[in-house]
Structure 1
Amino acid sequence: MSYSQGIASQTSQAILDALNHLIEVVAKLRSPEGGCPWDLAQTPQTLIPYVIEEAYEVVDAIKSENPKAIAEELGDLLLQVVLQAQIAQEYGHFSLQEVAQGITEKLIRRHPHVFGDVQVEDAEQVRQNWEKIKAAEKGETVQESELLSHKLSRYARTLPPLMAGSKISHKAAAVGFEWENVAGVWEKFEEELGEFKEALQTDDKIHQRAELGDLLFTLINIARWYGLDPSEALQETNHRFVQRFSKVESLAKRPLNQYNLEELEAFWKKAKAQLNQ
């Protein structure tokens, strides 16, 4: 064994030791004898919000380019994987070992140009092979897997709603499902706004939700026409609101609920002006 191989072996063992320790800690937290009541009360369904939240926090950390923050958030996301696997094992469904083996086998199977004798010339050929292999795994023909409705359905099921709406809008427009000009989109917006207002006059929450969804989807289409990313736009607005709200709290001398609306509005304007300087 060479020196470099020895170092790699030691590193791999250290990684395995750390992962095993994490697995043991999670198992202890889920133990009926001396475990944590909160962890014991969790199910795969109750943990869904945490999986989503931790994934977004990983993205935020990556954008910050702070290695320490990235490592911490990846750890939080890894915890969700281990916790889901622990609960599944308790139910007799699958184990973390099966999760790791499954993704390893999938990577090998979908990269025959690396682990087999398939020859590829570029990344596009890799993508095409990937899609063929993926379709075969799911018992579909390549034609079925390439149906646009098939892809749109996957976006709607798996992506955050705003992101899914944006991708669905772009993909549908690319095949001609599109307005002739932006004026048509604005007309659609006015139509959907009117229908939403009408729905609000009723007590039918399902109808109200449907009309609100139509209105939001039309706004997404407007954003696409102007080359804007609605997810980024809303995220920036969220950040601005929090910054201004923080400034309002710093200006206030007592709890905000002790001020009237006019006083709060004055704080808000002052905060906005200060942040714009």
Structure 2
Amino acid sequence: MPLNPPVTGATPAVAFERLLKIMDDLRENCPWDKKQTIESIRHLTIEETYELSDAILSGDLQEVKKELGDIMLHLVFYSRIASETNDFNITDVLNGISDKLINRHPHIYGDIEAEDEAAVKRNWEQIKLKEGNKSVLGGVPSSLPALVKASRIQEKARGVGFDWEDKSQVWEKVEEEMREFKQEFNPEDHRDFDHEKAEGEFGDLLFSLINYARFININPEDALEKTNRKFIKRFQYLETKANEQGKKLHDMTLAEMDVFWNEAKKL
């Protein structure tokens, strides 16, 4: 016999209770939901997070709202599963994050002063060390994509004062790393080169560019993703135009493809 769905909530508290009730119903009655474990939905959570990222970059707020709901479901799902083994429940999760926020904002809930954003970040990192982190960088997840990880590493180092003083110094470092990379892999030199050393120098160059982006307030992940999307859009235009003329890309010369590519750049 079908269950009566809980009614729409008119307040945040009632709406959240509605979601919790639906989660209970699904966990107790749906064959798929009953089968899931914390481990089995992990990859789905990662997928939902990337879908939220896509929606944000697209500027589609209705899609952002939908994806936030999907992620909220996952948070409730994890908490429900853990409650069945008495490890924790949604109340523990919510109180835990609230306690953390209160503790890490002594300039709001205590007598510490923070005159600007930089001071807030410095306080944040110092508090995390007092909470048991052995390193300022200990909170950077090892599984983060390398570009995002580099940004977070640099931000955290800056939070304790380990940083360049001026963006001109950072740009000098970029140029230095470019020279060192070129020494290992000179495009005009066709001799064999030490691939491992070249890879290391290339990594240093990328790290310095990400650092410079931070100094001029550019998010390197967003910047690269926007370039990826721009390339995809132009390449798909090239494919479409080639198909309209009955041509295959691998049969076209670069000069022929460049005609359509330059058209795409004007769109």
TM-score of the aligned structures, taking structure 2 as reference length: 0.65
Q: Tell whether 2:211 aligns with 1:221.
A: no
Q: Give the root-mean-square deviation of aligned CA atoms.
A: 4.4
Secondary structure of the equivalent of 2:31? coil
Counterpart in the other structure of 1:185? 177
- Structure 1's 73 and 128: CA in aligned 2 closer, same or farther, altered over 3 A? same
Change in 2 beyond 3 A, CA 1:253/1:42 = farther
Structure 2: 5+ residue stretches without partners: 1-7, 187-191
Q: 1:185 to 1:133 in 2, by over 3 A?
A: closer
> Partner amino acid for 1:276?
K
Alignment partners' CA distance in 2, 1:97 and 1:126: 28
Separation in 2, partners of 1:271, 1:59: 30
Residue 275 of structure 1: how far off its partner (Å): 1.7
2:150 aligned residue: 165
Alpha-carbon shift at residue 98 of structure 1 (Å)? 1.0
In structure 1, what is the equivalent of residue 31 of structure 2?
35
Greater share of residues in helix: 1
- Code of the residue aligned with 1:55 in structure 2: it is T
- Stretches of structure 1 that go unaligned for 5 or more consecutive residues are 1-10, 145-149, 200-207
Q: In 2, Cα distance between the equivalents of 1:112 and 1:223?
A: 31
Trace 1:65-80 onto structure 2 (pairs within 5 A).
65-80=59-74
C-alpha spacing 1:192/1:132, structure 2 compared with 1 (3 Å): same
Q: Render the CA deviation track for 1:147-186: whole Å, top value 9, x for unaligned.
A: xxx2334336374320222454675882699897555312
Do 1:189 and 1:218's aligned partners in 2 also have CA atoms closer than 8 Å?
Answer: yes
SS in 2 for 1:163: helix
SS of equivalent residue, structure 1 residue 157: coil
Aligned length: 242
Could you tell me how far 1:76 is from its partner in structure 2? Answer: 1.9
Contact 2:177 2:204 in 1 (8 A): no
State whether residues 52 and 68 of structure 2, in contact with CA within 8 Å, keep that contact through their aligned partners in structure 1.
Answer: yes
**Aligned residue for 1:155?**
140
Q: Secondary structure at the match of 2:142?
A: helix
Distance 1:152 1:111, change over 3 A: closer
Distance in 1 (CA, whole Å) between partners of 2:38 and 2:202 is: 33
Partner of 1:5: none
One-letter code of the match for 1:244?
Answer: R
Give the Å deviation of 1:245. Answer: 3.6
Find the counterpart in structure 2 of residue 120 from structure 1: 113
CA apart distance, 1:198: 5.3
What is the CA-CA distance between 1:75 and the residue it aligns to?
A: 1.1
Deviation string, structure 1 residues 82-117 (Cα, Å, up to 9, x no partner): 22223333444221121011112222333445445x
Partner letter of residue 34 of structure 1?
C
Matches within 5 A, 1:1-277: 14-31=11-28, 33-36=29-32, 39=33, 42-62=36-56, 64-115=58-109, 118=111, 120=113, 122-123=115-116, 126-127=120-121, 129-138=123-132, 150-155=135-140, 157=142, 159-168=144-153, 171=157, 174=163, 182-190=174-182, 215-222=202-209, 224=211, 230-251=220-241, 253=243, 259=248, 261-263=250-252, 268-277=257-266
8 Å CA contact 2:129–2:136 kept in 1: the answer is no
Which deviates more, 124-133 or 104-113?
A: 124-133
SS in 2 for 1:174: coil
Q: Which amino acid aligns with 2:207?
A: I
Q: Distance in 2 between matches of 1:260 and 1:128?
A: 53
Share of identical aligned residues, percent?
29
Correspondence for 2:5: none
- Provide, for residues 186-220 of structure 1, a one-character-per-residue CA deviation record: whole Å limited to 9, x for no partner: 243246659x9756xxxxxxxx8x98576344333
User: Residues 116-147 of structure 1, C-alpha deviation per residue, up to 9 Å, x if partnerless?
Assistant: 5x263634665555445433332x6xxx6xxx
Higher relative contact order (CA 8 A, sep 6+): 2
Distance 2:104 2:36 in 1: 34
Deviation string for 1:42-71 (max 9, x for gaps)?
543454444344334434544555442332
CA contact (8 A) 1:193 1:215 kept: no
Question: Which amino acid in the other structure matches residue 20 of structure 2?
Answer: I
User: Equivalents in 1 of 2:212, 2:258: separation in Å?
Assistant: 32
